[in-house]
């Protein structure tokens, strides 16, 4: 599979183990097509979802997939684990080897987990420059007060990584619960932020990623494919033939 955008000639050289000169001949003889069109130029851009045929036979045919899962507490965000059920196990027949997890949740966090085989889409969500909001409902052991709101908005210095967290939004819901919105995902970030107040997190649930909310119709452990509109939330002019 072409893992990201690349040139057609480079892909063919690698897959067919042929020198560039022979690949050029294949193209000039009209033996290769990409997404249903004859491909004659060496520098045509392809990606992992381009349909590539040689002499009418499929060389590459991958369909992009996008799923949301309602992760239960106690299930690990990993593809394989000796000890715990994984999010991939929960997908059942929907699981394919090419899926990856878009932003992991801790073992004891529940809520929205996204999975895809489209690396460009997941980078749009995860890369810090896109500043995608992730919203969590947090339940605390001890009561909250307004000092938390200020501290979350200011940021915390994490010595281990030598970074200061980006401003985060904290909205107090009840004496022991709040909504927290982050634009990044440092290791155990929310637990560590409340840890500064010596206030243990006793429940953590991800409600949304950007404008994509966890489908309230999904029972804990269930998953479904995203709609094209949901996919397009992170890739505005989404069309996989002009990627
Ligand atoms: N912050 C945490 O501490 N854990 C998560 O799973 C997500 C955010």
The domain that holds 78 is classified in CATH as 3.30.2350.10
Instruction: State the Cα–Cα distance between residues 60 and 50, nearest whole angstrom.
Output: 7
The predicted pLDDT at position 238 comes to 54
- Contacts (Cβ under 8 Å, ≥6 apart) of 28: 40
Rounded CA separation 235/243 (Å): 10
**Ligand 1 centroid from CA 190, angstroms:** 5
Provide residues with CB under 6 Å of ligand 1: 105-106, 109, 188-191, 204
106 classed as catalytic:
yes
Task: Round to whole Å and give the CA distance between 11 and 23.
Answer: 10
Residue 70 within any structural domain of the chain = yes
Which domain range does residue 225 map to? 66-231
Closest CA to 149 of 126, 173, 129, 113: 173
Q: Is the Cβ–Cβ distance between 61 and 51 less than 8 Å?
A: yes
Query: Is the domain of 99 the same as that of 187?
Result: yes
Query: Do 132 and 95 belong together in one domain?
Result: yes
Please answer whether residues 7 and 44 qualify as being in contact, where contact means their C-beta atoms are separated by less than 8 angstroms: yes
In a domain, 242, yes or no: no
Q: Please tell me the predicted confidence (pLDDT) of residue 207.
A: 98
For residues 24 and 129, membership in a common domain is answered with no
- pLDDT tens for the chain, 243 residues long, are 445 788 999 999 999 999 999 999 999 999 999 999 999 998 999 998 999 999 999 999 889 999 999 999 999 999 999 999 999 999 999 999 999 999 999 999 999 999 999 999 999 999 988 999 999 999 999 999 999 999 999 999 999 999 999 999 999 999 999 999 999 999 999 999 999 999 999 999 999 999 999 999 999 999 999 999 999 999 865 555 444
Q: Whose CA is nearest to atom 7 of ligand 1?
A: 105
Question: Which atom, in ligand 1's list, is nearest to the CA of 206?
Answer: 7
Which ligand 1 atom is the nearest neighbour of the CA of 108?
6
Total tally of structural domains belonging to the chain: 2
The alpha carbon of 66 and the centre of ligand 1 are apart by a number of angstroms equal to 22
Answer yes or no: is 240 within a domain.
Answer: no
Instruction: Please report which helix (H) or strand (E) contains residue 224, including its range.
Output: strand 223-225
**Domain match, 88 and 180 both:** yes
Cα–Cα dist 165/154, whole Å: 8
Place of tokens 């529940």: 110
CATH of the domain at 34: 3.10.290.10
Query: How far, in Å, is the centroid of ligand 1 from the Cα of 108?
Result: 9
What long-range pairs does 6-11 form, CB within 8 A, spacing at least 24?
6/45, 6/46, 6/47, 7/42, 7/43, 7/44, 7/45, 7/46, 8/32, 8/34, 8/39, 8/41, 8/42, 8/43, 8/44, 8/45, 8/46, 8/52, 9/42, 9/43, 9/44, 11/46, 11/52, 11/60
For ligand 1, pick from 72, 105, 140, 203 the residue to mutate: most ligand atoms within 8 Å of CB. Answer: 105
Q: Which of 81, 89, 98, 106 is catalytic?
A: 106
Give residue 242's pLDDT.
46
Q: Which atom of ligand 1 is nearest to the CA of 193?
A: 3
Q: Is residue 1 part of a domain?
A: no
- Max distance between CA atoms of the chain, in angstroms, equals 73
Same domain, 54 and 145: no
Tell me, in angstroms, the distance from the centre of ligand 1 to residue 65's CA. 25
Atom of ligand 1 lying closest to residue 192 CA:
3
Helical H segments across the chain, by residue range: 8-16, 20-28, 87-91, 119-126, 146-154, 189-195, 228-232
Return d(Cα 102, Cα 114) in angstroms, integer: 5
Q: Which of 36, 60, 84 is the last residue of a domain?
A: 60
**Of all protein residues, whose CA lies closest to atom 3 belonging to ligand 1?**
188
Q: Which of 76, 112, 187, 190 is the pocket-test mutation for ligand 1 (most atoms within 8 Å of CB)?
A: 190
Residues 49 and 73 in one domain: no
Question: Is 236 within a domain?
Answer: no
- Cα of 152 to ligand 1 centre, how many Å? 15
Q: Which of helix, strand or coil describes residue 125?
A: helix
Quick check: is 238 in a domain?
no
pLDDT score at 3: 54
Is 48 in the same domain as 71?
no
Q: What atom in ligand 1 is closest to the CA of residue 109? A: 6
What is the rounded CA–CA span in Å between residue 219 and residue 242? 36
Chain centroid offset of residue 43 CA: 29
The 8-class DSSP code of residue 90 comes to: H
Q: Are 55 and 70 part of one and the same domain?
A: no
Q: How far is the CA of 115 from the centre of ligand 1 (A)?
A: 17
Give the per-residue pLDDT at 241: 46
């Amino acid at each position: 599979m072409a893992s990201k955008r690349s040139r057609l000639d480079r892909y063919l050289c690698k897959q067919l183990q042929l020198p560039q000169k022979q690949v050029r001949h294949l193209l000039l003889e009209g033996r290769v097509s990409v997404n249903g069109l004859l491909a004659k130029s060496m520098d045509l851009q392809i990606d992992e979802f381009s349909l590539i045929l040689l002499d009418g036979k499929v060389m590459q045919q991958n369909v992009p997939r996008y799923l949301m899962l309602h992760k239960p507490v106690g299930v690990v965000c990993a593809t394989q684990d000796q000890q715990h059920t994984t999010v991939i196990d929960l997908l059942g027949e929907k699981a394919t080897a090419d899926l990856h997890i878009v932003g992991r949740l801790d073992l004891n966090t529940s809520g929205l987990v996204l999975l895809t085989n489209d690396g460009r889409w997941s980078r749009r969500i995860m890369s810090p420059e896109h500043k995608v909001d992730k919203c969590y409902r947090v339940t605390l052991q001890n009561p909250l007060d307004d000092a938390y709101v200020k501290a979350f908005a200011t940021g915390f210095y994490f010595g281990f990584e030598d970074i200061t967290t980006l401003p985060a939004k904290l909205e107090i819901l009840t004496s022991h619960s709040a909504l927290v919105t982050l634009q990044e995902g440092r290791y155990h970030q929310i637990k560590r932020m409340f840890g500064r107040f010596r206030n243990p997190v006793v429940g953590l649930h991800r409600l949304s990623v950007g404008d994509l909310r966890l489908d309230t119709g999904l029972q804990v452990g269930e998953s479904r494919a995203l709609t094209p509109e949901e996919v397009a939330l992170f890739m505005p002019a989404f069309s996989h033939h002009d990627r």
